[in-house]
Amino acid sequence: MNAKHIIGMVMTVSLATASASVLAGSHDSKLEAKATAIIKRDFRDKGIAKADRVNQDALQAACSKYEDDVPDKLKAKLEAAQAKEIKWPADGKYMGDWKAGEKLAQSGRGMTWSDKPEDPAGGNCYNCHQLSAKEISYGTIGPSLRNYGNKKGMKEEVQRSVYGHIYNAKAYNACANMPRFGHMGILSEAQMKDLVALLLDPESPVNAK
């Protein structure tokens, strides 16, 4: 089964599951279990893309079960568990090179079966956020980050918060769409520091006036 077939199958199953849930007006656990079984049956390891990517952890399972509207008590518990997993920089520094951060934000490479393990992944930030005023193409899934540093400043607590959100956004919002870049090993500590700099450094295109 090639990549196009897999993507088509996932879209079909996802749409079927969503449609059935809407028609039923509630969470359909039997249908979800069947869809999950089909996905696990048909996914295969290929290169660095392993089939275990379809396995959900407790947080993902909860967000699926409650369709992102997780009960407050459980949501707080899940977020606290994620927060404990954040590995803060050993040197206590949160900012790197904004120029490297901009290149990283522009790159959508990485994590596909054809990529090599040693190849660095990109942040793909523009796919979800507006950052630089000069960039005319950007996504709107996430909030605009234009002038983020101008608005938030560069105090240490701000730097730490930005680093934490990049490392694991789900520690702050359990069902956030943002990938857990550090938690899942997508980006290195140095790369995440570069993205913090991109958002906060006054010289960054994000904060250009």
- Show the domain range for 50: 3-74
CATH number of the domain to which 112 belongs: 1.10.760.10
Instruction: Read off the pLDDT band of 16 (50, 70, 90).
Output: very low
Percent of the chain with pLDDT over 90: 69
Domain termination residue (choose one: 41, 74, 107): 74
Q: How many domains does the chain contain in total? A: 2
Residue 140 covered by a domain: yes
Each residue's pLDDT tens digit, 105-161: 999 999 898 999 888 899 999 999 999 999 989 999 999 999 999 999 999 999 999
Please state, for a pLDDT cut of 70, what percent of the chain lies above it.
87
**Mean per-residue pLDDT for 164-173?**
98
> Average pLDDT for residues 164-189, to the nearest whole number?
97
Say whether both 135 and 56 belong to one domain: no
C-alpha–C-alpha distance, residues 205 and 98, integer Å? 9
Instruction: Tell whether the model's pLDDT for residue 5 goes beyond 50.
Output: no
